[in-house]
Amino acid sequence: MQEEQKERRDFIGMALGATALVGIGGGLGFAAKRTWDPLPSVKAAGFTTVDLSVAKPNELIVEKWRGKPIFILKKTAEMEANDRDVVIGSDRFHISIGLCTHLGCIPAYKKDDHEFFCACHGGRFNASGINEPGLPPPSPLEIPPFKIAGTELILGEAGPEYKKMLDAGLTV
């Protein structure tokens, strides 16, 4: 009897302890996860507006949006058109996040070859941002959310042209 009661008390004590441990552990674990999350101020990082009328054909412009480089390349008339192009009047632009889809280096634009070359592991993308198969990058350069307003491009806002590309699976 005596022994039995002692075992019962041990059990209740352990059960209570275990419940408390799970509760406190879970709560603090959640707090820890949230502490590592990006801050609201980082997430709210504003929009960037770029004036496309100053772009010159076959000359890469690099803008900064949310800390990431944005490629803006006005295509020449001879350069192949692509559904990923942003069209303003008669001008066609290649617009993408300038981070290699392999592991995130910034590819360099080779003017003469009309292609982007990534020095980190040798990836290549053509002037429409399409990756050359058989090399480390698995997918085309990503297109950032954008909206066209006259000759201006607003980065961070998803306009109809962007949504169309997204629906067509031309970017992620």
Partner 1 sequence: MAHFEKANNLNEWLDQRIGLNTLKRVLNTEYWIPKDINFLWVMGMVLAATFGILVISGIFLLMYYKPDTNLAFDSVNYTIMSEVGYGWLWRHIHGVGASIVFLIIYIHMFTGIYYSSYKKGRELIWLSGMGLFVAFSAEAFSGYMLPWGQMSYWAGMVITNLFSGGSLEAYALVEWIRGDYVPGDAYLTRFFMLHVFLIPLVIIGLIVLHFGTLRLPHVNNQEGADIDYEEAAALYKAGKKKESKVIPFSPVFLSKDIFVMGVYFILFFYLVFYHFDFAMDPVNFDPANGLKTPAHIYPEWYFLWSYEILRPFSKDVGLIAFAISQVALFALPFIDRSPNVAPAHKRGLFQIWFWALLVIMITLTALGKLPPTDPLFAAMGLVFAVLFLLMGPALFIITMFEKKLEKGA
Q: Name residues whose C-beta falls within 8 Å of residue 29's C-beta, 6 or more positions apart in sequence.
A: none
- Taking residues 89 to 108 in sequence order and writing x for each that binds partner 1 by CB under 8 A, - otherwise, the string is ----------x-xxxxxxxx
Of the candidates 57, 80, 81, 83, the one whose C-alpha atom is nearest the C-alpha of residue 72 is 57
Radius of gyration of the chain measured on its C-alpha atoms = 26
Which of 50, 92, 123, 153 touches ligand FES (CB under 6 A)? Answer: 123
Compare residues 42 and 168 and give the one whose CB is closer to partner 1.
42
How far, CA to CA in Å, does 1 sit from each of 6, 9, 10, 87? 9, 12, 14, 87
Q: How far is the CB of 122 from ligand FES (least distance, A)?
A: 6
Q: How far is the CB of 23 from ligand FES (least distance, A)?
A: 44
Q: How far is the CB of 67 from partner 1 (least distance, A)?
A: 4
Q: How far is the CB of 108 from partner 1 (least distance, A)?
A: 8
Give the interface segment with partner 1, choosing from 4-12, 21-29, 75-83, 113-121 (CB under 8 A). 113-121
In contact, 143 and 171? CB cutoff 8 Å:
yes
Compare residues 92 and 102 and give the one whose CB is closer to ligand FES.
102
Q: Is 103 in the site for ligand FES (CB under 6 A)?
A: yes
Which of 105, 154, 158, 166 touches ligand FES (CB under 6 A)? Answer: 105
Residues lying near ligand FES in the complex (CB under 6 A): 100, 102-105, 118, 120-123, 136-137
